[in-house]
Structure 1
Amino acid sequence: MFNFQRFIIMLCVATVTACGGQSAVKPTDTQASKPSGKGGYYLDDGPGDNPPADIDSIPDAQPKTETLLPRSNQPYSALGRKYVPMTSYAPYVRQGVASWYGRRYHGKKTSSGEIYDMYGMSGAHPTLPIPSYVKVTNPANKRTVIVRINDRGPFKQDRLIDLSYAAAYKLRISSQGSAPVEVEWIDTRPEALQKKDTIRTATPAPAPEIIPVAYAPPPAAETRTIAANASNNPDTSPASYYVQVGAFKNEANGDLLQKKILGLELAGNAAVTNVYNDGIYRVKLGPFSTRKEADVSASKVRKQLNLSAIVTNQ
């Protein structure tokens, strides 16, 4: 006798199976059973019993050019919805909710056919290519990780990405189960990685040593001459111009930006300094002898770093 109920169950299972032959469904609240008693995680999921001693020391995934897996990037359906994976790079930055999966899937195959390691830096996404790499940021604490996408999921409408337990731990969201994040797809095309390597290996010019010196004002007659020349041609005024690029409460952030500007030679022959004043570290380029020179440098900063750059005379 034909078992209609069994047929329906088999049909549902087939619908939510990824093209690689592996189950693409990650835990959702609608699938939840009673809490397991180990922290209240659903479906007996959660951290492993013997985690590594220092999960924070687990290195991020290292972006590299990889060949896409044809079976893992075909259109598919899951939980009544159709998904069409992306197969060519396009800028992708999204904000949404991240969840994570742990011991219940540890040691099982992912949609790529690889074995899931909850202590590896990996993730699952409905449509990003397999494999691909993304930078995930927790806006609450500014922590970031880089993970390799090798699985499909999550499929709840309010979820953006599923992270490995290690990635969630490093972002400090593992105890919450889910949290808001920002996901940015990393361009791993050969030409993009080559450009990044060139920038990374460029030897930055050493920051000039700033030595305070006494300044004696010119005689009154000379001052009048300078003022007259400045009024006739403001652009050749002896006043100094600076480009302010950023302001940080953390000195280390200012130092990183300073090194990046030096490496890209965005200041020309001018100095790049990380100046502290009133509790704020400000990265400044200069002095420039003319406003035009400062404007050119500010334009380079805006174009190459996509940062605000303000020209000042102090």
Structure 2
Amino acid sequence: MNRQNKISPFLIIVACGLVLLYLHGCTRVRPLPGPAKPPTKAPAKKTEKPRPYKVMGKWYQPLPHARGFKQKGIASWYGKKFHGRKTSNGEIYNMYGVTAAHKTLPLGTYVRVRNLKNNKKIDVRINDRGPFVRGRIIDLSYGAAKKMGIVGAGTAPVEVTALGRPMAGKSAAATVPAYMPVDFYSGNFTIQVGAFSNPDNAEKLKRKLSRIYKNAHVVNDLHEKTAPFKVRVGACSTLDQAAKYETRLIQNGFPDAFIIAE
């Protein structure tokens, strides 16, 4: 007599439980990873203020900003003597291009030059420094001067209007270029009167200036090794105010005074 093997109900329950656990593990949805942390922003680089430069014994302070800048004066041009040489911003000067030199406008700024004699206009990019001749405000490339009709005469009265720098995504060669205006006239300006290697001499001049002028102070320029102690006067919020201060100092016996952007 054959005896049928009976499966214990307990074993059936255990087997079912194991199957359910296995299936639960296979179908379990893993939690989605949390939102990625936004990338940490790198600290913004501080824009260095343009440093003054000296040419033929005279100091010039490049302007830090550029909006609403207008200037009237004499334009000249330069050509073969400088063709192929490096400009102040490191480019190779092309006399047939449409560029210009200015003593204080930031390099890379576009300006509109209007010939006050024939009303011809041209937009040029400042890529060089100059002209270092009294009374002249801008030096045009030969190509720009030719379009303005001033090559023969050599000079012409002009009006210079700052346009700014090309906006991102806009081609500088576009028919109607779009410019990002830059503020030229507002900021923090002071006038440097002297520079000394000896701090005592700087303090002596500061005391002398304090009797006549407001806000005479000494600045220790850590980047300067030969004469780090700068004596400065005034605290002006516009370039016009600073220019008047500078003129007054020059007239009162400080011929080397020049404007500094702080």
Q: TM-score range by the shorter chain?
A: 0.3 to 0.5
Larger Rg belongs to: 2
| TM superposition score normalised by structure 2 | 0.45
- Flag the structure with more relative contact order, 1 or 2, with Cα contacts below 8 A and sequence separation at least 6: 2
Bigger helix share? 1
